[in-house]
């Protein structure tokens, strides 16, 4: 469904950007608008002023200069820590990681410092930072450049987690992230960067934001609820489309943020359909899929007609060779077959 | 003067260059996909010289730019190439292109910048605790030198007198960032004094100079004298990865860098010294080309791993 050509040439097509903004262009636009609006917003990251790997910060330096678009040395602990301190000092830093996996290097600064300082100081400080994390597999980028690690961080108290799946959401959620007074992790699936999505009129409105904690019902259906994020939203929609021809009606819910999570919309949906499939690239064990299922089971157990199911990486590093990589990631086909099993059970 | 050794160093550098060129070709011709190749073009002398100073039982821990030390330690170009082609016959069975051959003391750890440095310290600790006289060497870049992992390891290695060589391969860039705007110190090796370690700064485009510095560090480590920080100053001639057009470097800068090409320098020196003839070099080139062609052929003919193999090798 998504091509593997992430690193191949194939630049932006500016004339199409207006009607069909690209995912990466949408994030760029959100950051640009917020930097214009609020002088406290600034950026730090490796090669973000020069040539960042996926071009999300392209040309920001021309408008805002190297004071506000700061190239950093390869020092993730110092940079995340600097973001935390600068945020306490009244700034609103945005930090780019070249690949989200590398946040592992700076976890203490995030989970123990950024995320806990407000609580530990009895509410005296706030830490408004955004950390941008390219994530996801399917690109032949290797095990340490392909993960979807939000379950690690949703587990830690004090961190918000955004997972945009379209250009519109990328822009609106990024603006909310920047305006939020808490640490926000913003996960950007690499396969989405070059995709283009139709933009409603409000896409151009610099005051339009998409609030955290509100799921998008991407497709309405009666027989089964799929909860999916990032690229899996699109795999699920394609599966739903195909299954409609077989008379199976699938509802697809994209939570858009994991923290806060719109449990209400998910539970409502399962009360209607009686079936729940949670799909994500996250490792299954202690993954976000299990959290969704637990919430539904706690709140709507009586509504369930069959046992909920989850799809995800079964628990191996995302391997380098394409046939191995395909073996560990969920896709349209696996979603379709899981849904078939569940509705015929 | 050891003629065979000098010719051997030239041949190693040539094999690294040509094998990697074939890898890049495979990428540009879309025979392989995924993350683009990280080439050591221009930096071959560092691995050739440094690995020549090692013996069986010594370990090297490589970076994302790891093919040079693999070749320099005598790994089979066929199985290196097969891994780069994601084939089952590759050293890592298609799991990761950070090629590892434990039997030859090459541990591939390129995914996380600086991640290999503490681990190399740990191998050195095992070598010391095992009362062997073997040593470990951590390759890392100028960019990696700004990671906390490197500083912590340097201090630990100094305190514990570990048989470790910290080999900083300073190629002038961390992706697009010149080292001059990432490191305030005059040189990275200057930091050694702060750790209490001996250090050397060497011309990383001369394999003999690198060899001498590493051989001295290895001798000290084998004798129980502990760790050394060596900074090999070299030049990255290609992009950060093969697809990088290097728009951030001037033509003049690159032209000057190519003048320092370690293969060119070594070849010209050996020719001038009468240790190599034009025919001799042509024969060496032909032999290397043959080896590379065979490696590519082997990789192409090898099968991909089966999907179920994705689940092998997770647990010991
Ligand atoms: C912890 C971490 N941060 C950032 C990266 C992205 N990255 C990959 S290679 C590289 C450059 C490192 O520069 P240097 O250490 O000088 O090695 P060189 O590429 O020059 O060989 C960077 C920043 C990474 N892989 N891991
Ligand atoms: Mg470098």
Alpha helices in chain B (DSSP H): 3-28, 44-52, 67-72, 77-84, 116-129, 148-159, 192-195, 207-222, 251-259, 262-272, 278-301
Residue A228: helix, strand or coil by DSSP? strand
Query: Within chain A, which residues score under 70 in pLDDT?
Result: 11-14
Secondary element (H or E) of residue B242: none
- Report the pLDDT value the prediction gives residue B38, as an integer from 0 to 100: 98
Smallest Cα distance from B171 to chain A, Å: 15
Rounded distance, CA A244 to CA A341, Å?
15
Which top CATH class is A216-344?
alpha beta
- Report the pLDDT value the prediction gives residue A195, as an integer from 0 to 100: 94
Average pLDDT, chain B: 97
Q: What is the pLDDT of residues B6-44, one digit of tens each?
A: 999 999 999 999 999 999 999 999 999 999 999 999 999
Work out the average pLDDT over B177-189.
96
For chain B, the domains span 3-304
Answer whether A13 contacts ligand 1 (Cβ < 6 A): no
Alpha helices in A13-143 (DSSP H): 14-17, 23-37, 60-68, 76-88, 107, 117-120
Work out the average pLDDT over B286-300.
98
Residues 6+ apart with CB under 8 A from A113: A81, A84
For chain A, the domains span 23-204, 216-344
Q: What dihedral do alpha carbons B300, B305, B307, B309 form, nearest 10°?
A: -170
A256 touches chain B (CB under 8 A): no
Is A144's CB within 8 Å of B112's CB? yes
Rounded distance, CA A116 to CA A322, Å?
40
- Report the pLDDT value the prediction gives residue A210, as an integer from 0 to 100: 98
Rounded distance, CA B52 to CA A74, Å?
30
Q: What is the pLDDT of residues B113-167, one digit of tens each?
A: 999 999 999 999 999 999 999 999 999 999 999 999 999 999 999 999 999 999 9
Candidate from B95, B177, B308 with C-beta closest to A320: B95
Which tokens go with A214? 């509100």
CA nearest to A118, candidates A22, A214, A182, A37: A182
Rounded distance, CA B146 to CA A155, Å?
30
Q: Pick the catalytic residue from A112, A145, A235, A299.
A: A145
A11 touches chain B (CB under 8 A): no
Q: What is the largest CA-CA distance in chain A?
A: 60
Per CATH, A23-204 and A216-344 having the same topology is answered: yes
- % pLDDT > 70, chain B: 100
Is B34's CB within 8 Å of A141's CB? yes
Residue B20: helix, strand or coil by DSSP? helix
Whether the model pTM is above 0.90: yes
Work out the average pLDDT over B187-198.
97
- Report the pLDDT value the prediction gives residue A1, as an integer from 0 to 100: 85
Rounded distance, CA B137 to CA B133, Å?
13
Answer whether B98 contacts ligand 1 (Cβ < 6 A): no
Answer whether B188 contacts ligand 1 (Cβ < 6 A): no
Alpha helices in chain A (DSSP H): 14-17, 23-37, 60-68, 76-88, 107, 117-120, 150-154, 167-179, 230-244, 263-273, 288-300, 322-328, 332-344
Q: Are B47 and B17 in contact (CB under 8 A)?
A: no
Please state the CATH superfamily assignment of the domain spanning residues B3-304 in this structure: Thiamin diphosphate (ThDP)-binding fold, Pyr/PP domains (3.40.50.970)
In this structure, CATH architecture of domain A23-204: 3-Layer(aba) Sandwich (3.40)
Which tokens go with A246? 């077989």
- Report the pLDDT value the prediction gives residue A11, as an integer from 0 to 100: 60
Cα-based distances in Å from B139 to A110, B169, B212: 29, 7, 17
DSSP label at residue A113: I
Q: What is the pLDDT of residues B237-262, one digit of tens each?
A: 999 999 999 999 999 999 999 999 99
Of B112, B117, B143, the one to substitute when testing ligand 1's pocket (max ligand atoms within 8 A of C-beta) is B143
Q: Are B94 and A326 in contact (CB under 8 A)?
A: no
Q: Are A178 and A185 in contact (CB under 8 A)?
A: no
- Report the pLDDT value the prediction gives residue A147, as an integer from 0 to 100: 98
- Report the pLDDT value the prediction gives residue A12, as an integer from 0 to 100: 58
Ligand 1: residue whose CA is nearest its atom 17: B141
A55 touches chain B (CB under 8 A): no
pLDDT over 70 (residue B1): no
């Amino acid at each position: 469904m998504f091509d593997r050509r992430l690193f191949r040439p194939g630049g932006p097509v500016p004339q199409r950007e207006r009607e069909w903004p690209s995912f990466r262009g949408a994030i760029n636009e959100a950051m640009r608008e917020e930097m214009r609006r609020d002088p406290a917003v600034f950026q730090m990251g490796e090669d973000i002023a020069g040539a960042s790997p996926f071009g999300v910060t392209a040309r920001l330096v021309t408008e805002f200069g190297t004071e506000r678009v700061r190239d950093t040395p390869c020092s993730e602990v110092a940079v995340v820590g600097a973001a935390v301190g600068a945020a306490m000092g009244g700034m609103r830093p945005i930090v780019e990681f070249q690949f989200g996996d590398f946040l592992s290097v700076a976890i203490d600064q995030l989970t123990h410092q950024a995320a806990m300082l407000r609580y530990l100081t009895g509410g005296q400080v706030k830490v408004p930072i955004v950390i941008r994390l390219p994530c996801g597999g399917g690109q032949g980028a290797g095990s340490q450049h392909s993960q979807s690690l939000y379950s690690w961080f949703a587990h830690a108290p004090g961190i918000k987690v955004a997972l945009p799946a379209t250009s519109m959401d990328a822009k609106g959620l990024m603006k909310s992230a920047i305006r939020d007074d808490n640490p926000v992790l913003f996960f950007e699936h690499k396969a989405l960067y070059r995709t283009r999505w139709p933009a409603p009129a409000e896409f151009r409105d610099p005051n339009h934001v998409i609030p955290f904690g509100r799921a998008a019902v991407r497709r309405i259906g009666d027989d089964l609820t799929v909860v999916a994020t990032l690229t899996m939203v699109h795999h699920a929609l394609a599966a739903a489309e195909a299954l409609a021809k077989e008379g199976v009606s699938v509802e697809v819910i994209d939570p858009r943020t994991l923290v806060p999570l719109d449990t209400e919309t998910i539970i409502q949906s399962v009360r209607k359909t009686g079936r729940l499939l949670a799909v994500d690239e996250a490792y299954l064990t202690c993954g976000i899929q299990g959290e969704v299922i637990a919430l539904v089971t706690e709140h709507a157990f009586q509504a369930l007609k069959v046992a909920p199911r989850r799809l995800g990486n079964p628990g191996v590093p995302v391997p380098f060779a394409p046939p191995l990589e395909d073996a560990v990631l969920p896709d349209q086909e696996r979603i379709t077959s899981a849904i078939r099993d569940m509705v015929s059970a | 003067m050891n003629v065979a050794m000098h010719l051997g160093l030239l041949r190693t550098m040539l094999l690294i260059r040509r094998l990697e060129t074939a890898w890049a070709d495979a990428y540009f011709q879309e025979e392989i996909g995924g993350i683009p190749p990280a080439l050591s073009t221009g930096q071959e002398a560092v691995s050739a010289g440094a690995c020549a100073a090692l013996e069986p039982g010594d370990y090297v821990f490589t970076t994302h730019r790891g093919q040079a030390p693999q070749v320099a330690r005598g790994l089979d170009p066929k199985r290196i190439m097969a891994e780069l082609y994601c084939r089952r016959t590759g050293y890592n069975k298609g799991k990761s292109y950070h090629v590892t051959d434990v039997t030859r003391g090459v541990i591939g750890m390129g995914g996380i910048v600086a991640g290999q440095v503490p681990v190399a310290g740990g191998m050195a600790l095992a070598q010391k605790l095992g009362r062997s006289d073997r040593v470990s060497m951590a390759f890392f870049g100028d960019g990696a030198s700004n990671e906390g992992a490197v500083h912590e390891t340097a201090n630990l290695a100094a305190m514990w007198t570990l048989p470790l060589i910290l080999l900083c391969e300073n190629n002038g860039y961390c992706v697009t960032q010149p080292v001059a705007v990432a490191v305030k110190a005059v040189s990275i090796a200057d930091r050694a004094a702060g750790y209490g370690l001996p250090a050397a700064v060497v011309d990383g485009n001369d394999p003999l100079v690198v060899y001498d510095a590493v051989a001295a560090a290895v001798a000290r480590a084998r004798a129980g004298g502990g760790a050394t920080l060596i900074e090999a100053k070299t030049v990255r001639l290609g992009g950060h990865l093969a697809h990088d057009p290097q728009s951030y470097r001037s033509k003049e800068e690159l032209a000057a860098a190519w003048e320092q090409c370690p293969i060119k320098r070594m070849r010209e020196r050996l020719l001038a010294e009468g240790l190599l003839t034009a025919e001799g070099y042509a024969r060496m080139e032909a032999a290397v080309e043959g080896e590379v062609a065979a490696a590519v052929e082997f990789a192409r003919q090898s099968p991909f791993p089966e999907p179920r193999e994705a689940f092998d090798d997770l647990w010991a």
